[in-house]
């Protein structure tokens, strides 16, 4: 399926030792895809549909929706915000210059595998305690600071960036598995919302950006 490649690695100073290396191209990639597939199967088995329903109700009842995450989880949050906008929700990404003030009738959705990300926890606490907004957390840690302060929590199973699994870490380092799982889960939620709202791809296209 995959060929082999050779790489010469020069060591030492001028004209030093040359080491020829060979490895099977694609073996690690295929293993990574297997692990992702296993993770999706685990998600299907472990997902609490009561949590999902509560999350969907919170989205539907919110006047405005705000999303946030740090690092790669922030990219997942932005992707979800885009799809919520396509579905017709009034949605904003925390930290953007055009993001308005959050209010009591609004929902803040946070994405954090550990549930302890400092910036996410601090902003969530401010929205909850000072504004009175509703909080929804997508996390792996039900005992985290973020989960304990949130009104709605969706738990996603899998390795987080603080767990030490040498085999898994060699192909999916740090928070990779959580970030991928969160992205897949939220895209699945978009499909569920589309179905419930009886929207089609053409409906979403009407809100898709044209200034590209």
CA–CA separation, 157 and 149 (whole Å): 20
The owner of tokens 């926890």 is 121
**Residue 80 pLDDT class (50, 70, 90 cuts):** very high
pLDDT category, 199, cuts 50, 70, 90?
Answer: confident
Q: Would you state the pLDDT for residue 18?
A: 43
Reported pTM = 0.80
| pLDDT confidence of residue 9 | 42
pLDDT given at position 37: 82
Q: What percent of the chain has pLDDT over 70?
A: 79
Average pLDDT over the chain reads 83
Nearest alpha-carbon partner for 70 in 128, 114, 135, 125: 114
pLDDT over 90 (residue 116): yes
Point out the catalytic residue in the list 179, 192, 205, 212: 179
Instruction: Tell me what pLDDT residue 27 has.
Output: 76
- Indicate if the pLDDT at residue 8 is higher than 50: no
User: Is there a contact between 99 and 66 (Cβ–Cβ < 8 Å)?
Assistant: yes
How far apart, in whole angstroms, are the C-alpha atoms of residue 158 and residue 139? 10
Walk me through the domains of the chain, giving residue ranges and CATH numbers. Answer: 32-201 (3.40.50.10490)
Share of the chain above pLDDT 90, in %: 53
Residue 149, pLDDT > 80, answer: yes
Please indicate whether residue 129 is annotated as part of the active site. Answer: no
Stretch (H or E) spanning 19: strand 18-24
134, pLDDT greater than 90? yes
CA terminus-to-terminus distance, the chain: 38
Integer Cα distance of 127 and 95 in angstroms? 13
CB 135 within 8 Å of CB 175: no
Q: Residue 108's pLDDT band (boundaries 50, 70, 90)?
A: very high
What digits encode the pLDDT tens for the residues 36-70?
788 888 888 888 999 999 999 999 999 999 999 99
pLDDT of amino acid 14? 46
Per-residue confidence (pLDDT) for residue 163, from 0 to 100? 53
């Amino acid at each position: 399926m995959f060929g082999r490649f050779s790489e010469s690695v020069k060591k030492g100073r001028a004209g030093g030792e040359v080491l020829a290396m060979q490895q099977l191209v694609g073996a690690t990639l295929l293993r990574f895809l297997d692990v992702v597939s296993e993770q999706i199967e685990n998600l299907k088995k472990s997902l609490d549909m009561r949590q999902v329903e509560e999350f969907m109700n919170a989205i539907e009842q919110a006047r405005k929706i705000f999303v946030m995450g740090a690092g790669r989880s922030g990219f997942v949050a932005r992707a979800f915000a885009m799809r919520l906008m396509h579905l017709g929700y009034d949605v904003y990404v925390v930290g953007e210059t055009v993001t308005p003030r959050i209010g009591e009738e609004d929902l803040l959705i946070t994405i954090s595998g550990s549930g302890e990300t400092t910036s996410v926890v601090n902003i969530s606490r401010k929205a909850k305690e000072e504004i009175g907004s509703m909080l929804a957390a997508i996390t792996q840690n039900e005992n985290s600071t973020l989960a304990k302060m949130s009104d709605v929590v969706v738990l996603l199973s899998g390795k987080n960036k603080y767990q030490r699994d040498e085999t898994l870490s060699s192909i999916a380092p740090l928070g990779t598995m959580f970030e991928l799982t969160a992205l897949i889960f939220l895209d699945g939620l978009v499909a569920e919302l589309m179905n419930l709202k009886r929207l089609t791809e053409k409906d979403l296209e009407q809100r898709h950006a044209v200034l590209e």
